[in-house]
Amino acid sequence: MKSAKKQYAVIGLGRFGLSVCQELSHAGAQVLAIDIDEERVKSAIAFSSDVIVANCTQEDTVAELKLDEYDMVMVAIGSNINASILTTLVLKEAHCKTVWVKANDKFHARILSKVGADRVIMPEKEMGIRIANQMIDRRVKDFHPLGSGLALTEVVISSAMQGQSLSQMALCREKGVTVIALKRGPEIISSPSFDKTLEMGDVIFIVGPEVELAQKLRSL
């Protein structure tokens, strides 16, 4: 029996919101796209399960749309900070399961956290961290902040690192760092043994404290 598709609502259809809708749709999710601007709503029709022109700062609107039944709601309202904050508050008071919100700056992010946002996203900052880490060391394939001070990174094993075991890599021995998988060609090895000998081209997936992980990657 197939499981039901997850349902997501995206409020605010600027470039960021539209991109989120598009990626969710490509992943096979059901997406409700919402904005107060009719033209923006029209632009989301091609890659959304449903679209609606609505103002989600209103409690009655959120209740009518039954957004509390969705698996996750993304508030991607851009320039109108007041609307972003009020929408987040209304969604949390409506007992929506999970609410992620796009923030414009640290001040905006701090307020969103205080009104109950489950995750606050600063796209420019998070993308900057990922790109900077790739620029510093090209062995770092990607760097993903996960929130709550954690990050996921993918490290490509170079010729200088081959032949080592995971236990010999200082990065993997750091407190709070976990190697969750190793990719070798098409093979994925979950929770690999620390005695596993590494080969050039292997990719290891590591989760750990964001700041410490970024610092240690520079010393590989």
Does position 2 have pLDDT exceeding 50, yes or no? no
pLDDT at 121: 86
pLDDT at 141: 53
Q: What is the mean predicted confidence (pLDDT) over 8-22?
A: 92
pLDDT at 191: 83
Q: Domain spans of the chain? A: 7-121, 125-217
The domain defined by 7-121 folds into Rossmann fold (3.40.50)
pLDDT at 138: 46
- In whole angstroms, give the CA distance from residue 20 to residue 53: 18
Query: Of 90, 92, 86, 75, nearest to 13 (Cα)?
Result: 75
% residues pLDDT > 90 (the chain): 39
Q: What is the mean predicted confidence (pLDDT) over 168-186?
A: 79
The domain defined by 125-217 folds into Alpha-Beta Plaits (3.30.70)
Residue 175, φ and ψ in degrees, nearest 5: -60, 130
Does position 216 have pLDDT exceeding 60, yes or no? yes
Tokens representing 5 are 């598709």
Residue 159, φ and ψ in degrees, nearest 5: -60, -30
Q: What is the mean predicted confidence (pLDDT) over 71-91?
A: 93
Confirm if 84 and 108 have CB atoms less than 8 A apart.
Answer: yes
pTM of the full structure: 0.61
pLDDT at 96: 95
Averaged pLDDT score across all residues of the chain: 83
Does position 76 have pLDDT exceeding 90, yes or no? yes
Confirm if 206 and 168 have CB atoms less than 8 A apart.
Answer: no
The model's confidence at residue 59, banded by pLDDT at 50, 70 and 90, is: very high
Give the CA angle between residues 26, 77, 207 to the nearest 5°: 60
Helices (H), the chain: 15-26, 38-43, 59-65, 81-93, 106-114, 123-136, 210-217
